[in-house]
Structure 1
Amino acid sequence: MDTSIRVEQRDAVAVISLNRPDKLNAFTPDMQRALQDVLTGVERNEEIRAVVLTGEGRAFCAGQDLESIQHHPDLNYGEVLKQGYNPLILKLTKLEKPVIAAINGVAAGAGVSLALACDFRIASERASLIQSFVNIGLIPDSGSTWLLPRIIGLTKAIELMFLGEKISAVDAARIGLIHRTCPPEQLLPEAMALAERLGKLPTKAIGMTKRALYKGLGNTLEQSLEYEAQLQELAGRTNDHQEGLRAFFEKRTPEYQGR
């Protein structure tokens, strides 16, 4: 039984933990598949309304486990990405439930990409992030070249990717790479509080908003206007919208069910 991914459901929140602390939660193919399977289960479980993704031990995720490829000089890195990382990143960005990365320690390489694919990023004040690919003669992958410049701008993305220097969580928050930092002992409580807050909101509308945002990054204004109209038609038919309207007119707090 694969134990590299732990998942715990706390009411409407799924807490997913990368669980290879002795290897700084570095990815292996089995771990990638296990995480994809867990996310598929979360996607299908209507009781789960939000997700917290974190790491066990002193790291969030150190990226690829280099020891696992050390003795495979002919390994096709492109296939590794196509079969493992790329589907995982797409799964996260297409998951129509809010995902919070609780960055408890170092995030390096594809570990940064994993965090970038989440909707919110909260980090321990002791955490750090590094686009480490250039330090071993590789290019940033797992969506980093698409996500990072869109999050922090091209100028800063070039600096982080070309130089491969570590950035502290505090500095990462300053440039908009993460949303905020907190003391280590408050990280999971803060992430849970945000997840619980999101879990009480209209999940369908949030999911459609996420869909529109990612599609909009490659659309013209005209295309986005048309897509918004399509999604709004769907949102207008949800139970949550009807509940929101009733609550508005009855002057009460809505009780959304994510339907």
Structure 2
Amino acid sequence: MGDCIVDTTDGVMVIRFNRPERMNSLGGTLLAEFNAALLEGRADDRVRAFVVTGEGRAWNAGADLQAVGSGGANENSKRWNAVDPIGEVGRTILNLRGCDKPTIAAVNGVAVGGGLGFCSAFDIRIASEQARFSTVFIKRALAPDCGLSWFLPRLIGPERASEMFFTGRMVDATEALSMGLVSRVVPHEELMDAALSLARGIANSPPSAMIYTRRALHNSQTATLEQQLEFEWVNQKACLRAPEFQEGVRSFLEKRDPDWSQF
């Protein structure tokens, strides 16, 4: 069994980080296997949403410091990482954000350091009551990476982000919900049911409109209002030409639920 476990059911690809003995840290083959699964799901029209969770007591603990300390991290890619201005983790973040299908992090335990950066790149985060979050970098004499200095201020505001970065303190699930870091907190044993219920509802949506909606939300983070209005109208014209729109209109006129499974 590899460092990621992948299963697809009802239009939802579930990816489980499977390094529980290392708290699912970003080492071994985890990133390579995650990227392979994500690329497979992106190319498969049957996959309409992703749920990512972790085995054991962690969602993702960031860098594998035990491997880094022993000189064993990314042994086969040191030269590439040295010359690549983004690095393997950075390219994974771009791969995740560039996916046209909604992504949900089902945070079962700790998400710290680069793991929190990774988690912050998802569209939606649902947390178990056992989840905990920390930037932690400052406590290891490191600066932020994995895009966390970009994501966190946008999620919780610059002042709260500054406090988390400067102190490295741990934030529990309840506080994470109050500050907007996660959208929902559920009992631990209900986490995957809640995440899968949400993902299946998303999967049962008009696929083209979902793609354009996700693109619009991501584009809005760097666009001016005028640029966003133009972006929205280009997308809307594409939606109006898509066959899903005709089904939406017919179902409205016929007073029935639309059937998106045909697209």
Q: CA separation in 2, counterparts of 1:168 and 1:80?
A: 35
Q: Structure 2: 5+ residue runs without aligned partners? A: 73-77
Structure 2 match to 1:216: 220
Q: CA separation in 1, counterparts of 2:114 and 2:262?
A: 31
2:128 maps to 1:124: yes
Structure 2 match to 1:65: 64
Deviations 1:160-213 (A, max 9, x none): 111100000111001110001111100001111101111111222122111122
Partner-residue secondary structure (3-state), 1:122: strand
Structure 2 match to 1:235: 239
TM-score between the two structures when normalised by the length of structure 1: 0.94
Q: CA separation in 2, counterparts of 1:233 and 1:68?
A: 51
Q: CA separation in 2, counterparts of 1:87 and 1:54?
A: 20
Quote the offset at 1:69 in angstroms.
1.6
Structure 2 match to 1:18: 17
Deviates most, 73-82 or 233-242: 73-82
Deviations 1:200-241 (A, max 9, x none): 112221221111222221111111111111111222222222
- Whether the 8 Å contact between 1:13 and 1:52 is mirrored in structure 2 is yes
Q: Which amino acid aligns with 1:97?
A: K
Q: CA separation in 2, counterparts of 1:210 and 1:258?
A: 21
Quote the offset at 1:257 in angstroms.
3.3
Quote the offset at 1:72 in angstroms.
3.7
2:60 maps to 1:56: no
Q: Which amino acid aligns with 2:21?
A: D
Deviates most, 151-160 or 205-214: 205-214
Deviations 1:49-91 (A, max 9, x none): 1111000011100011112221349999775772311111111
Structure-2 change in CA distance of 1:258 and 1:31 (3 Å): farther
Structure-2 change in CA distance of 1:166 and 1:208 (3 Å): same
Deviates most, 224-233 or 56-65: 224-233
Quote the offset at 1:258 in angstroms.
7.7
Runs of 4+ in 1 over 6 A off after TM superposition: 73-78
Structure 1 match to 2:44: 45
Q: Structure 1: 5+ residue runs without aligned partners? A: none
Structure-2 change in CA distance of 1:217 and 1:31 (3 Å): same
Q: CA separation in 1, counterparts of 2:85 and 2:16?
A: 22
Q: CA separation in 2, counterparts of 1:26 and 1:152?
A: 24
Q: Which amino acid aligns with 2:14?
A: V
Deviates most, 201-210 or 35-44: 201-210
2:93 maps to 1:94: no
2:141 maps to 1:142: no
Structure 1 match to 2:119: 115
Correspondent of 2:206 among 202, 207, 227: 202
Quote the offset at 1:94 in angstroms.
1.7
Structure-2 change in CA distance of 1:258 and 1:195 (3 Å): farther
Q: CA separation in 1, counterparts of 2:183 and 2:147?
A: 19
- Whether the 8 Å contact between 1:52 and 1:192 is mirrored in structure 2 is yes
- Whether the 8 Å contact between 1:240 and 1:257 is mirrored in structure 2 is no
Q: Which amino acid aligns with 1:199?
A: A
Once superposed, what is the RMSD of the aligned Cα atoms? 2.0
2:181 maps to 1:177: yes
